Amino acid sequence: MKIAMCVFVVLFLVACQSSNHVKLIYPDKIYQQTKWTEDELKKNIAIRHLHRGTAASTHLIRLKGNEFPHYHDRHDLNVSVLSGKSTIHFKDHAVVLVPGDVIFIPKGTFHWAENTDSVASVVFAVFSPAFDGKDRRKAE
pLDDT in tens, 10-42: 333 334 444 457 889 999 988 887 889 999 999
Residue with the larger pLDDT of the pair 18 and 93 = 93
In whole numbers, what is the pLDDT of the chain averaged over residues?
86
Percent helix, percent strand, percent coil in the chain, to nearest 5:
15, 45, 40
Contact yes or no for 124/24 (Cβ under 8 A) = yes
Q: Which amino acid is at 61?
A: I
Q: What is the pLDDT of residues 28-79, one digit of tens each?
A: 988 887 889 999 999 999 999 999 999 999 999 999 999 999 999 999 999 9
Whole-prediction pTM value? Answer: 0.82
CA 86/CA 109 separation, integer angstroms: 18
CATH for 2-138, among 3.40.50.720, 2.60.120.10, 3.40.50.620, 3.50.50.60? Answer: 2.60.120.10
User: 17-33 in b/e burial notation, b at 16+ Cβ within 10 A?
Assistant: eeeeebebeeeeeeeee
User: 110-134 in b/e burial notation, b at 16+ Cβ within 10 A?
Assistant: ebbbebeeeebbbbbbbbebbbeee
pLDDT at position 104 over 80: yes
pLDDT for residue 47: 95
Confidence tier at 9 by pLDDT (50, 70, 90) = very low
pLDDT for residue 16: 41
pLDDT for residue 34: 82
Mean pLDDT over 80-101 rounds to 97
Mean pLDDT over 110-137 rounds to 95
